[in-house]
Amino acid sequence: MPTNLHSIDRRQFLAAGVTGAAVAALSATPARAEQASSLIRGQAEHVISIWLGGGMGQIDTFDPKVKGDPKSKKPGSYYDAIPTAVAGVQVCEHLPKMAAIMDRVTAVRTVNHSVIDEHAAATNWMYVGRPVSGTVVYPSIGSIIAHERGAVSENVPAYVVIGYPNSSRGPGFLGAKYGYLYLTETGRGPAGLTSPEVIDAKRQARRENYLLKLRSVQAPTDDVRLRDYDAAAELGLRLSGPDFMRSFELNNEPADLRQRYGGEFGQRCLLARRLVERGVRYIEVSHNLNFLNGTGWDVHNEGILDQHKLIRELDDAVSTLILDLEAHKLLDKTLVVISTEFGRPAHFDGGGGRGHQSSTFTCVLAGGGLKHQGAYGETDELSQKIVANPVPVPDLFATIHAALGVDYTKYLYDGDRPVPITDGGQPIAKLFG
């Protein structure tokens, strides 16, 4: 009588299954090794991310087209275009300082996703690299890099946000250990870390010694939340020391350099450079903080009238940051990223401003040891459709990860649930030579 599955001894069946799994694993190992050897890996050590909340209009900044006219509703750029240091690449007339150094920059003009009319959802996508899930709280790219690379020094945080905190910037399922340190002022340091004047070094040492004694009598715990809390408390003590707190002594910088950086946003960029020097891995600087034009980058209706003030402030601060990093021999080690939740269409709305557009918009990369080319990707005559080299958000994220030497093909785990680190993204190979 022929043998079938039901007549096989259970132990034989299990053994066969284990053997099969082992064979499969062994056969997959060379493929995985080959994949690992073909990964693109850059040499950058840090990221400074400039966040333009509200939606920077690519057609009015880094992807200019023929000039339009809001009065006659002729679609097109709001400003004239100017040449840059890279032949054939133009930018808006209010970016002259960036134009002069576009050989260190690549404007990625074909970033895209599918969220158009909701700022929060689009912002979340640009932080976590994928749409919102009902079952998984994804980590932000800053938290992922903190998880994968950590801080350069144990006396500084891995991830710092200078601007507006929200859930999109958080660590998600990675846990609080990979969250960010939030800074509100460039000159004082994090709230709560500065000791009162009455607490001298001896008194602080006594307090820390007492805390150690209290912990020594507590039973060990496997509760991740409690362990993360203890780790955060220990980091807080280290951060309150002079090494990290010196980062905020911006007055020690040359006066002419501080002036070139400009106002509060520029000073935040200067602080970012100082945090890089001390070993912080990922720093976000928010630009949409003072609404110079009344609306920030969300230029509906009259908001577009003074949009040039935002663009000029961006030009001053980011160009100075790039050159300052270069002067400190940090530009090749630091990837500067300018990102936003979506772009703006070429057509003008009823008030003369612009709506939202996610079909194609621009994010900017600078430094980081990349092979820059001024611009990557091509859009149509109104910067509304992609003509060549689309870059979905996972590919942008994979490019950032690759620049930092992070494996963009790996999986993270939400409990026992595997989650791809970039949702299948692939780096822009041309930027790696």
pLDDT tens-digit map of 99-109: 999 999 999 99
Tell me the three state secondary structure of residue 392: strand
Is the CB of residue 419 less than 8 Å from the CB of residue 174? no
Q: Name the phi and psi angles at 290, rounded to 5.
A: -130, 0
Band of residue 295 on the pLDDT scale cut at 50, 70, 90: confident
Percent of the chain with pLDDT over 90: 67
pLDDT at 290: 57
Start-to-end CA distance of the chain, whole Å, equals 65
Q: How far, in Å, CA of 261 to CA of 251, rounded?
A: 13
Q: How far, in Å, CA of 155 to CA of 211, rounded?
A: 19
Q: How far, in Å, CA of 118 to CA of 168, rounded?
A: 14
pLDDT at 194: 60
Using the predicted structure, report yes or no on whether residue 276 has a pLDDT greater than 60.
yes
Q: How far, in Å, CA of 431 to CA of 433, rounded?
A: 6
pLDDT tens-digit map of 26-76: 444 555 555 566 899 999 999 999 999 999 999 999 999 999 999 999 999
Tell me the three state secondary structure of residue 281: coil
Q: For 126-130, what is the mean pLDDT? A: 96
pLDDT at 20: 46
Residue ranges of domains in the chain, CATH in brackets: 42-194+242-432 (3.40.720), 200-239 (no CATH)
Is the CB of residue 79 less than 8 Å from the CB of residue 308? yes
Band of residue 278 on the pLDDT scale cut at 50, 70, 90: very high
pLDDT tens-digit map of 148-206: 999 998 888 999 999 877 889 999 999 988 999 888 777 666 655 566 555 666 776 67
Q: How remote is the C-alpha of 279 from its chain's centroid?
A: 17
Using the predicted structure, report yes or no on whether residue 140 has a pLDDT greater than 90.
yes
Band of residue 242 on the pLDDT scale cut at 50, 70, 90: low
Band of residue 19 on the pLDDT scale cut at 50, 70, 90: very low
Is the CB of residue 68 less than 8 Å from the CB of residue 356? no
Q: How far, in Å, CA of 246 to CA of 278, rounded?
A: 9
* Average predicted confidence (pLDDT) for the chain: 86
Q: How remote is the C-alpha of 320 from its chain's centroid?
A: 19
Q: CA nearest 46: which of 284, 376, 374, 318? A: 284
pLDDT at 186: 73
Token pair recorded at residue 393: 């958000």
